[in-house]
Amino acid sequence: MNHLARKIAWMMLCTLTVPLLGRAQAQISGDWLGTLSGGGAELRLALHIAADKDGNLTATMDSLDQGGMGIPVTAITFTDSKLSLTVDAVHGSYQGAVNKDATEILGTWTQGQPLDLNFKRGVVAAKAAPKPAPPSEIDGSWLGTIDAGAMKLRIVFKIVNTQDGLTAQMQSPDQTPVWIDATSISRAGSKLTISLKSVGITFEGTLSVALDSIDGSFSQGGNSLPLRLKRVKDQSALERHRPQNPVKPYPYREEEVSYTNPAAGNKLAATLTIPPGKGPFPAVLLIVGSGPHDRDESLMGHSPFLVLSDYLTRHGIAVLRADKRGVGKSTGDLDKATTADFAQDAEAGAAYLRTRTEVDPHRIGLIGHSEGGIIAPMVAAEDKKIAFIVLMAGSGVPGDQIIVEQGRLIEEAGGMNKDKAEQNAALEREILTLIETEKDPAALDKQLHAKLAGKLPEGQIEAQMKVVTSPWFRYFISYDPATALRKVACPVLAINGSLDLQVPPALNLPAIRKALAEGGNQHAEVDELPGLNHLFQTAKTGAVSEYAEIEETISPLALEKMSSWILRQ
């Protein structure tokens, strides 16, 4: 993945039933088949939609070429021929239009980047399960880690012998719980080859004499990386240890709630946690960063907002955290929304808190992480009832500067020399300038394609062009956060980790401090917290590759800093 593509990726399972008109829902019910193409690979998908007698919809998806069957659709809505799905298990969403005869659905699947996905009615033929056979000497699970510089991903192969020969499945547990069926697996002496054509992956390795490791290479999309697999003796080795995740029963009240954003007409599904006691309590709304985040801001096996919410509520602060529009149980179109639209959703959250008798309406604040740290000042600048805001790795300069510096730092942390990283940064500046200045969509597409040709596989160029020309991206790169910061009159706490490579403190904290001072804000505290990364974990280098490896979700230093500051306001 090239510099721009990788950066964009970083900036960004229960079934829910939704009551709708029974007759319309019956029209959408049934089995649908589609093919997702991208990066030189094709994946066949099956969508199964069912409606009960009251018109409530449920759905599941199958990734036929990956072997992922019965993946729960977390939320589904069908209104005015528009179908919307959210699949939390794979961090994906789908928006489509159903034709008049209900025989086709034309739409877009988004999972990090948008891709065309059209469905037609069809039936999936049942696949016969392979007949069991005595285990081979390499049966079992094998675990290794790919080091791609900017990130590290664990890869697991599960090998099983059958009467038809060896079979294999692959999982990347840091990305998805879905297991992908191998197209083929062959062994010739100590040589082992596993192919997964559906995702363009091949692993070739050599078994050790003791049959406890396999040294080889992992190839995908023309790129090859070394991968050493070790036999998994204890299945707990496949699980990430997250000691800060709270365990029920909680010593406070937790309530599932929802509220609407009248301006957009979408519903936000959320969790409200309320401290024990009489109240009324101070309260905060948590605002997630960029990308399709749920209310816990789940990423890389961590749930930062779950941990933050638990800590604050235990310290006497009520907390509201919501699924982003179009994610989880929240409705709305995520793909067409900009930062300004998310600010409207946050305004609706603050308004909802004011309706709760357990909350002191004069002590309601906002905590925003990353892009949420841009949104919080936007809301506070307009809503003078906001009592305070906390910016966790919020930016103080326009997004085009963030993206360029973020990419340069991440690449250098991944081992790239400074000259090469600066060359990539220069190319990216050209691309961003082009996106900001070229108003003709056709001309922009042509020029972007010319700049990306040869730097990305052809199959990925169109997908990347959709990302960088999306409403969110174009708004983000041109918006200057200082505009809202100058208008914020309430107390502000802005914190950044000294090892944050995604929103670098040296670039952003001085800009935040300057904008607040220019606006005359006398109640601002701007701090750089030593040794913390973008997620406010205690880190060694701040590299993105550390996020999943670190057991800590949020540093106690950051948690105490925010809690004590809020209670002083």
Q: Burial, 362: exposed, middle or buried (Cβ in 10 Å; 0-12, 13-18, 19+)?
A: exposed
**236-242 mean pLDDT:** 76
Q: The tokens of 40 are what?
A: 């030189």
Residue extents of the structural domains in the chain: 3-121, 140-233, 253-398+480-568, 400-476
Distance CA 323, CA 292 (A): 9
pLDDT digits (tens, 9 = 90+) for 48-74: 998 776 677 888 888 887 767 777 787
Strands 281-287, 318-322: parallel, antiparallel or unpaired by DSSP?
parallel
Distance CA 27, CA 41 (A): 32
Q: Burial, 230: exposed, middle or buried (Cβ in 10 Å; 0-12, 13-18, 19+)?
A: middle
Q: Give whole-number Cα distances, 106 to 44, 62, 82, 295, in Å.
A: 15, 18, 10, 29
pLDDT value of residue 459: 60
| Identical fold between 3-121 and 140-233 | yes
pLDDT digits (tens, 9 = 90+) for 154-169: 899 999 999 999 999 9
Phi, psi of 146 (to 5 degrees): -90, 130
Q: The tokens of 348 are what?
A: 């609706």
Residue 509's Cα: distance from chain center in Å?
25
The answer to whether the Cα torsion of 545, 548, 551, 554 is positive or negative is: positive
**15-44 mean pLDDT:** 62
pLDDT classification of 546: cutoffs 50, 70, 90:
confident
Architecture of domain 253-398+480-568: 3-Layer(aba) Sandwich (3.40)
Topology (CATH) of 3-121:
Lipocalin (2.40.128)
Contact yes or no for 413/501 (Cβ under 8 A): yes
Read off the amino acid at residue 431: I
Residue 88's Cα: distance from chain center in Å?
10
Distance CA 463, CA 443 (A): 17
DSSP state of 16: P
**359-370 mean pLDDT:** 98
pLDDT at residue 485 greater than cutoff 90: yes
**520-527 mean pLDDT:** 97
pLDDT more than 90, % of the chain: 59
More confidently predicted of 487 and 463: 487
**330-350 mean pLDDT:** 94
Distance CA 425, CA 244 (A): 37
pLDDT at residue 407 greater than cutoff 80: yes
DSSP state of 131: P
Tokens 């919020």, residue?
394
pLDDT at residue 442 greater than cutoff 80: yes
pLDDT at residue 462 greater than cutoff 90: no
SS (H, E, C) 159-193: EEEECCEEEEEEECCCCCCCCEECCEEEEECCEEE
Read off the amino acid at residue 341: D
pLDDT value of residue 18: 28
Highest mean pLDDT among 153-162, 235-244, 444-453: 153-162
pLDDT value of residue 127: 65
Read off the amino acid at residue 146: I
pLDDT value of residue 439: 87
DSSP state of 248: S
Element (H, E) at 227: strand 223-231
Read off the amino acid at residue 386: I
At a CB cut-off of 8 Å and minimum separation 6, what does 99 contact? 81, 105, 106
Q: Give the residue from 365, 155, 340 showing the smallest Cα distance to 264.
A: 340
Q: The tokens of 496 are what?
A: 């950044």
pLDDT digits (tens, 9 = 90+) for 467-476: 888 899 999 9
Contact yes or no for 544/151 (Cβ under 8 A): yes
Topology (CATH) of 140-233:
Lipocalin (2.40.128)
pLDDT classification of 5: cutoffs 50, 70, 90:
very low
Least confident of 10-14, 130-134, 251-255, 517-521: 10-14
Distance CA 108, CA 97 (A): 10
**232-260 mean pLDDT:** 89
pLDDT digits (tens, 9 = 90+) for 67-101: 677 777 877 888 778 888 888 767 778 888 999 88
pLDDT at residue 301 greater than cutoff 90: no
pLDDT classification of 7: cutoffs 50, 70, 90:
very low
pLDDT digits (tens, 9 = 90+) for 178-204: 778 888 999 999 999 999 876 778 999
Q: SS3 for 525? A: strand
Distance CA 311, CA 244 (A): 10
Read off the amino acid at residue 287: I
Q: What is the pTM of this model?
A: 0.74
**434-459 mean pLDDT:** 83
